[in-house]
Each structure stands twice: as C-alpha cells, then as structure tokens.
Amino acid sequence: MSGGLDSTTVLYHAIKRGYKCECILFDYGQRHRKELNSAVRIAKKTGCKYRIVKIYLPWSESSLTDCDKKIPNNTKLLAFSSQLSAKATLPTTYVPGRNTIFISFALSYAETINAGTIFIGANAVDYSGYPDCRPEYYLAWDRLLRSLGVKISVQAPLIRLDKAEIVRLGSKLGVPFKLTWSCYKGGRTQCGICDSCRFREKGFKESGIRDK
Amino acid sequence: MSGGLDSTTVLYHAIKRGYKCECILFDYGQRHRKELNSAVRIAKKTGCKYRIVKIYLPWSESSLTDCDKKIPNNTKLLAFSSQLSAKATLPTTYVPGRNTIFISFALSYAETINAGTIFIGANAVDYSGYPDCRPEYYLAWDRLLRSLGVKISVQAPLIRLDKAEIVRLGSKLGVPFKLTWSCYKGGRTQCGICDSCRFREKGFKESGIRDK
C-alpha cells in the first residue's frame, strides 16, 4: 500500500468485501516520506494492522528513488491494449522489478500468517506503461503461486478500470481521498504537474467528483 | 549465491559456458556470516563482480533466521516426484517466499544491467522439500518474465541433479569445494549433523570424491 488513490481504494474494496486486511508498506528509498505517512494514516484510520518493509535497491536508477533525476510530467497515458515494447516507452519513474519484489514479500508474509489473498492496486488503463501493471502479469503470478502449492491468489481489482472509474469506486466505498498522496514529489502540497498528479486530476475531472 | 556447494557449482557452470557473471549475495538475517563470507571469497576468486543485498523479513519464523529455534538434523531426503502437500512436511529451515524474493531482486538487477539470464542453484532431488525448489516453479517464472516483456530467463541447471551428481559436476568444473560453506550453523567448522551437512556428506560419499 502506497498511500495513493489506487492502493487505498483497493484496501477499502477488500474491507467492504469482508476481508480481514493487513497492509504492507514499502520503504524503498522513495524521494520523500509523504506517501508512507499517508499510508500509515490510512491504515490507522481503517484499524488495519500494517507493517513497513524496508527495501534497498542499490542499483535503482529510477527518478522515484534518485533525487538527482528529473520527475517526468509529459508521459502519455497508455492503454493496456497498446502492445508496448517495454523499455522503449518507459518513463524514468519505472523501478525495475518493483511490483515483483512487492508481491514476493507479500507472498512471504501471506504464507507466514496464512492469508489467502494478496491485493494490489495495479492498474493498466491510466498508467505510465509499466509492464508490471498489465493483466497478463497477474495471471502469471497466479500460475507461479499454484506451482508453489500455496493457496494464495493475487488480486488486482483495479486492473481494468480507468482513473475516473477508480475515483467513482473509491467515492462509493468512502475512501478518504484527502488523506491520500499521489504526487511523485514531496512538497508541502501535491505539485499538480508530475505524471501521477496529472493522472489523478484527469480521474477526478472525468468522474465529476471534487478532489479535496 | 549463498557460498554453498550448489550456488558455487552453478557459478562455475555459467562461467564455463561463457557467461559474464555478476553475483548477488543476500544478507537476510541468517544466523551466521559464514555463508556470506564464503560467497564473497568465491566471487573474488572468480573475479566476478558481486553485490550484497540486505533483506529484512520482520515476520520470518524460520530456524535459519531465528537463533532461538533448533536446526533440524533428521529431515528425510525428498525427491521432487513425491507430490508433497507443501506445509505438512516442511522443515523449520524453510523461509517463506525466499527464492521468490531472491529471484525478484535478481530480476530488478538484470533489468538494470541488461542481463539475459538469472542462474540459481535450486535443486529438487536431494533437498528438504522446499516448494520453491521444484521444476514447475521455475517454468512458472519463465512465464512471468515473458508476461513482463523482458528477455530474461531463469535457469536452475542443477534442478534435476542429486547431490552426488552436483559434486561430480563441481569437481569437473574446478569448484574450490574447500571455500564453500554448507552448514546451517555458524561454528568454527561445519557441524556434520544438520540437514545441510548431511546432504553434503551424502553427495561426496556417493560421488567418491573427498570433501576437503
């Protein structure tokens, strides 16, 4: 759980469906602590147990972890139907293997506490073209988990929703939007310019819901 | 690379086949530093670049990371053909999700340096029944990597060899056995009693090669 719009909506979705949730928050050397602080606040609000896992990727050259790099603000919105040839179109915010690492830690935790489901807020419509946000990737995870003989599935309930649909769903579920943090930068307020802010803005605009 | 018999043999196998290798060593809170020290010594001997990645699993209850737990020494050798129902037969040395986490970090690094192959010393014959050492698990990884659109494959060249065959292969490849460390415990010498020592002893005995 990142503390952004998507993972928060997924948490509320899972709670609504009766799951007893525990949140895993990843501290992977993000440029700022805003996301994590948001995630902690939201977890506390829902009364869910949470754990912060520290991950250090000594080789990451992503602009999400490297403060010397510029955060992009002009990445085209990509639909998952456009068969993108990975690397070519990837923005600098891409962290290689990130979701794979996240899910593998979640798997470890799920095995330990006997949880049956891993939820992730990945989303293949209004996103930046990350290959680990595509539906076929999550199908491949299910197969991998079956090969391990564990009864754990990975669910990405937002995978085929666009940002406006996510905002509408979140609104219906009572997601406290004002506690969420989407901005790639760590300013006092969200910048409104970076890719992540733009996707969020587009979502609220199209849904007709006001972003507080 | 753990610094044990299997991962060291895999490194020598890959070098022999002409791969330019880099080693990833994981510091995941093992009971002792002997393994890691061995791995560093072996990497240096081969002239391969190596990286140590620190991983902390706050929830791990494995006897490999928890010093209050007893290391088992009577786990039956299992063959991958015995369709084991995961949990039931798993010894306390099992670290949930371990190889999945290892491979996901390796994937991240491989993507970063444009490597095409991830080698792992997993082995499904003379082992402790860990589900992440079975052939179908590695096939599932290949599928997952394809779903990401990356040209990276996971190879587990020892997967169908027994320990004696691994010792023979290592011997042929010039593996410096005396630098490797197999023992689960961190004594001055290897204990000769724990599961890992017993599997190693069996391998050398059956291969007719002396373990220095």
pLDDT at B78: 47
3-state secondary structure of B119: strand
Inter-chain touch B108–A86, beta carbons under 8 Å? no
- Backbone phi, psi, residue A9, to 5°: -60, -40
Decide which of B188 and A125 is more confident: B188
**Which ipTM value was assigned to this complex?**
0.84
Decide which of B141 and A62 is more confident: B141
pLDDT tens for each residue of B70-92: 767 766 554 433 334 444 567 77
Torsion sign, CA atoms A53, A10, A42, A37 = positive
What mean pLDDT do residues B107-122 have?
A: 95
Chain B residue nearest residue A106, CA to CA: B97
Pick from A91-105, A116-130, A159-173, B73-87: least confident: B73-87
* Confidence class for position B113, pLDDT limits 50, 70, 90: very high
pLDDT at residue A95 greater than cutoff 90: no
pLDDT tens for each residue of A171-200: 999 999 999 998 888 888 888 888 889 989
Chain B residue nearest residue A28, CA to CA: B55
The answer to whether the CB of A107 falls within 8 A of the CB of A145 is: yes
Q: Which residues contact B181 (CB under 8 A, 6 or more apart)?
A: B3, B4, B34, B35, B37, B38, B190
What mean pLDDT do residues A59-65 have?
A: 70
Chain A contact set for B130 (CB, 8 A): none
Kindly list the structural domains of chain B, giving each domain's residue range(s) and its CATH number in brackets, ordered by start.
5-206 (3.40.50.620)
Give the whole-angstrom CA distance, residue B132 versus residue B136: 9
Among residues of chain A, what percentage have pLDDT more than 70?
A: 85
Pick from A145-149, A165-169, B63-67: least confident: B63-67
Give the whole-angstrom CA distance, residue A85 versus residue A69: 23
pLDDT at B126: 63
pLDDT at A35: 87
What mean pLDDT do residues B178-196 have?
A: 87
Identify the H or E element spanning A203.
helix A195-207
Inter-chain touch A112–B60, beta carbons under 8 Å? yes
For an interface test with A, the pick among B138, B141, B148 (most A C-beta atoms closer than 10 Å) comes out as B148
Concatenating the DSSP letter of every residue in A99-167 gives HHHHHHHHHHHHHHHT--EEE----SSSB---GGGSHHHHHHHHHHHHHTT---EEE-TTTT--HHHHH
What is the pairing mode between strands A117-119 and A153-155? Answer: parallel
Give the whole-angstrom CA distance, residue A175 versus residue A158: 14
3-state secondary structure of A55: strand
Q: Which of residues 139-158 of B touch A (CB under 8 A)?
A: 139-141, 143-144, 146-150
pLDDT at A76: 58
Distance from CA of A115 to the nearest CA of B (A): 13
The partner residue sitting opposite A140, judged by closest CB among B56, B57, B147, is B147
Pick from A14-18, A102-106, B45-49, B74-78: least confident: B74-78
Inter-chain touch A111–B95, beta carbons under 8 Å? no
How many Cα atoms within 13 Å fall on the side-chain side of residue A120? 27
